[in-house]
Amino acid sequence: MEDLLSSIYQAILEGDQAAARAAVQRALEENLEAETILKQAMMPAMQEVGRLFEEGEYFVPEMLVAARAMQTGLSLLKPKLVQADVAPAGKVVAGTVKGDLHDIGKNLVCMMLEGAAFEIIDLGTDVPPERFVEAVQTSGAQLLALSALLTTTMPNMKQTIEALQQAGLRQQVKVMVGGAPVTETFARQIGADGYAPDASRAVALAKSLMGM
Ligand code: B1M
């Protein structure tokens, strides 16, 4: 098991999509839990990629290929992570805020919410406040899930909440926020209804915001 996890870790770190696919497939065939693969190999690999970038050993192209290898692995885990409960739990509009192209964490949050029977309307990345507003309005979603990975794009979460207020929609939708630089204190400061540090806690938060 350690060998398999370390091949997945290495494949993502090196941005080797084919090796990541093969290693994750092998791990699933060996009946390793999707969550074990994610938490013990894939997420630590992305963490290390971030560290290497900070140290100046990796540059944007290395981050990009690592992200692709990660997405390949995630797509194989998705069927395991999305074994949905039966009763529909509510509708969620989700997206990464304006100016921000990071979507791996947001995708993971969406997958886990889907697994908890939420209906997801995923707007993708670099989503301006007005698109969030429009989607909430047309879908009648009860929850808005905002992700940001850059300190420079965190203020766009606040702008999105303000845009909801201006459109008269703030009372209709609960707003949850998350992403590596986001904190509970920041969430409170910008008037969000909740913050979750990771995907599984995002599910718990979504359920509690829905009164479940
Ligand atoms: Co970027 N990047 N990046 N990057 N990147 C970070 C975020 C950075 C921390 C790296 C570093 O310096 N150590 C740094 C940000 C520094 C800062 O703002 N303080 C950074 C930078 C600087 C940049 C660029 C500016 C680099 C440049 O161009 N010079 C640039 C910005 C582009 C843009 O967005 N406009 C950039 C670009 C990129 C790539 C495109 C190459 C690629 C993203 C590809 C993609 O997402 N499709 C990339 C990557 C891969 C990273 C790192 C290495 C990995 C991010 C990731 O996917 N993590 C990252 C370093 C790091 O995070 N350590 C880094 C794995 C993922 C599962 O975790 O996204 O944290 P995460 O999600 C978690 C939680 O945060 C939480 O749950 C998830 C699962 O547990 N969560 C939520 C997330 N959203 C949530 C929402 C919720 C609740 C929980 O409720 C709604």
Q: pLDDT for 18-48, tens place per residue?
A: 999 999 999 999 999 999 999 999 999 999 9
Map tokens 């290898």 to a residue.
69
First-last CA distance in the chain? 37
- C-alpha to C-alpha distance for 132 and 27, rounded to whole angstroms: 38
Distance 78 CA to ligand 1 centre (A): 20
Q: Which CATH number does 91-209 carry?
A: 3.40.50.280
201's CB contacts (< 8 A; 6+ apart) are: none
Question: Which has the closest alpha carbon to 116: 133, 91, 148?
Answer: 91
Whether 110 lines ligand 1, by a CB cut-off of 6 Å, is no
Tokens of 118: 């939420």
Distance 47 CA to ligand 1 centre (A): 9
Domain ranges of the chain: 2-83, 91-209
Q: Does the structure show a pLDDT above 80 at 83?
A: no
The pLDDT score that the predictor gives to residue 115 is 81
User: pLDDT grade, residue 116 (50/70/90)?
Assistant: confident
- Region 3-15 average pLDDT: 97
Q: Is the distance from CB of 93 to CB of 139 less than 8 angstroms?
A: yes
**What DSSP state is assigned to residue 103?**
-
Q: Whose CA is nearest to atom 7 of ligand 1?
A: 149
CATH architecture of 2-83: Orthogonal Bundle (1.10)
The atom number, within ligand 1, closest to the CA of 47 reads 63
The atom number, within ligand 1, closest to the CA of 151 reads 18
Same fold, 2-83 and 91-209: no
Q: Is the distance from CB of 112 to CB of 161 less than 8 angstroms?
A: no
The pLDDT tens digits of the residues spanning 156-208 come to 999 999 999 999 999 999 999 999 999 999 999 999 999 999 998 999 999 99
Distance 149 CA to ligand 1 centre (A): 5
pTM of the model as a whole: 0.94
Distance 204 CA to ligand 1 centre (A): 22
Mutation choice for ligand 1 from 149, 198, 203, 208, CB with most ligand atoms inside 8 A: 149
- Region 118-141 average pLDDT: 97
